[in-house]
Amino acid sequence: MFREIFTAWHNWFHIIDNQHIMSLLIASFLSTIVTLWLCFHFRRKLSFNKSEISVLLFLTVLVLWSVLSDFPFGGTVSRIGIVLSVFFLLKVIYGKIPTLFHSASTVMLWIGLAEILYATACSRNEATGIRGHFDNPAGFAAFLIMILPYCFLLIGSRNRYKRWTGLGILAVFVTGLILSESRAGIVSVLCVISIILYQRYRDFTRSKQSPKFRIGFLTASLILLTTIFTALYFQKKASANGRLLIWRASMELLREKPISGHGAGSFQALYMPSQAKFLGNHQDHPLSFLADNTKHPFNEYLGALIQYGILGFLALGCIALLFYKQIRAVHLSPVKRCALLSLTALAVFSLFSYPLYYYVILCLVGIDLFILSNQQHTSFGHVPIWILTLISIPVSSWAVFYTAKQLQMTSKWEICMKEYPHSTNRPAIISLYSELYLKKNFYDPLFLYNYGAVLNNESLYHQSIQVLNHCRKIYDDADVQIIQADNFYQIGNYQAAEQHAVQAAQMCPNRFLPLYYLWKIFQKNGRKQEAIAIAEVIVQKPIKVENIEIRKIKLIMQKFLLQENDS
């Protein structure tokens, strides 16, 4: 009994770590709450100002672009749904809680402190910077930089104790960012502090009108910024160069469809083949050794350009600019300034990372947008609640049904992955995999990859080829290509096996396994000189990460070359 309960909780927490599933859960839960509120206030009207309409228009355009995409849009829509649901939930309860803004900021600060303490307590097990409950220090840093500006609500207080509390919390947050080793987080917080210092001492700088003062001030600022960026670059030079490679290869995708874009959710399917094409045409590229499987562009703006094109990017940019002008047209209260700084920090962070991948960040975006757009005693128009209810009921119903279905199938998949390695009845596990794929239409990209690998391991090569071909339409990387190469090699289609092995080798030139498959193919086809050439490449190739399998491959190649030299 206790074992079953423990297993259930273990599976549940493993699912919580799945960003896609959690995004669906949060979006469906919040949309249901909003729908229930609308149902109990059926005869009322809800007023919207221009800023709120701009936010809703921006999110609606994103949803429409996602739905029209040729790629699965569930992940994108669920993430937009989180922002929209948080925004609407705050909209409907704001009148009931007048102190909502300050209460929310206080709660966020305490949550941030708790997360830093938890991350510090777990830091002994981290090979990199601290990351707390997140799967990566980037998510942890993004979370902190979005909450950090709210420290200045306390720092700006007239109460001495609140000021010192605010300074203490700010110091803890900055320390947490440094311990996370997130360069994007450090740059973001420096930008926030610079903006605050500029606003604080703006009158002082205006009083110094002499050209010498301006030139000296700008020169000192440029030297300081150059020094900071150089230090951050050399702190993790390989990581920084890896991002430069990703941005360069991503530009090839942008060139293919610059106007309309490839569609929402297209990056995971198209980037790695694009990287293979780029590195195949630039085999001596100095950064090729750093290439690896990539799921994110490490720049949200570049990702938006690839997915939505210049046309979509400009449309979204115009709406965002309109929103900014509207909120600047009115007096910004201290809490609104903090919300604006929070989004500014996120905008800077997005230049170097992928913060919008995390559902917690999306919740904070929804909070910030509502704080900024909320304007008392201003209304652009009223919408009868019955209209919103008619829209909300089918949307929330679909969200709950879709989420329940995805959660059920993900749970079954978790069971399959856990039981397969030790199962004595593997045909039953394969049957469950098949049911999820064929009958339940479960097309999660990682599930398809896992199912294809399992079929390959069970020597069901034709079925594995079919599943992995489906996987490649929505997610492709070097690992998928390697399994496909093995599938075709096992059924004797050496030409197709060679194509996939070459593709995998070009995707990640530092990998040894694709070259090993090429050597096997050349050996099988009697292409002796090509086999010798690839063996020499493997022997001389430097190892990026030490691995027993790589050492075995190198030993096999050394023995092969010795035999060839003796003969």
More confident residue, 440 or 300: 300
Amino acid in the structure at residue 377: H
Residues 168-186: what's their mean pLDDT? 88
pLDDT surpassing 60 at residue 21: yes
Are 340 and 332 within 8 A, CB to CB? yes
| Whole-Å CA distances, 282 to 175, 286, 403, 482, 533 | 41, 9, 44, 21, 20
Residue 323, classified by CB atoms within 10 Å of its CB into exposed (0-12), middle (13-18) or buried (19+), is: buried
**Residue 127: what pLDDT?**
61
Mean of pLDDT over the chain:
82
pTM (two decimals): 0.86
Residue 10 has pLDDT above 60, yes or no: no
Q: CB count, 10 Å around CB of 62?
A: 23
Instruction: Please report, rounded to a whole number, the percentage of residues in the chain having pLDDT higher than 70.
Output: 89
pLDDT tens readout for residues 43-96: 577 777 788 888 888 888 888 887 777 776 557 788 888 888 888 888 877 755
pLDDT computed for residue 27 by the predictor: 79
pLDDT for res 24: 75
Task: Return the structure tokens found at 118.
Answer: 């938890």
Q: What is the pLDDT of residues 288-320, one digit of tens each?
A: 778 888 888 899 999 989 988 888 888 888 888
pLDDT exceeds cutoff 90 at 196: no
Distance CA 477, CA 296 (A): 12
The reported pLDDT for the residue numbered 6 is: 31
pLDDT-based confidence at residue 104 (cuts at 50, 70, 90): confident
What does each C-alpha distance from 283 to 276, 294, 538 come to in angstroms? Answer: 10, 19, 16
Whether residue 52 contacts residue 92, with contact meaning beta carbons closer than 8 Å, is answered with no
pLDDT digits (tens, 9 = 90+) for 106-140: 888 888 888 888 888 876 655 677 888 888 888 89
How far is Cα of residue 228 from the mean position of the Cα atoms in its chain? 26
Q: Classify 132 as helix, strand or coil.
A: coil
Q: What is d(CA 457, CA 480) in angstroms, rounded to the nearest whole number?
A: 14
pLDDT greater at residue 365 or residue 46: 365
If one counts every other C-beta atom within 10 angstroms of the C-beta of residue 438, the result is: 9
The residues, any chain, with a CB within 8 Å of residue 544's CB and separated by 6 or more, are 289, 510
Beta bridge partners of 382: 47
Q: State whether residue 4 is helix, strand or coil.
A: helix
Contact 182, 141 (CB under 8 A): yes
Lowest mean pLDDT among 98-112, 133-147, 175-189: 98-112
Residue-wise pLDDT tens digits, 255-269: 988 888 888 888 888
Q: According to the model, what pLDDT value does residue 154 have?
A: 85
Name 45's bridge partners.
384
pLDDT at 48: 79
- Fill in the DSSP letter of residue 125: G
Among 144-158, 240-254, 313-327, which stretch is predicted with the lowest mean pLDDT? 313-327
Q: What digits encode the pLDDT tens for the residues 457-500?
A: 888 999 999 999 999 988 898 999 999 999 999 998 999 999 99
CA distance 431 to 566: 51
Among 42-51, 147-156, 174-183, the minimum mean pLDDT is found in 42-51
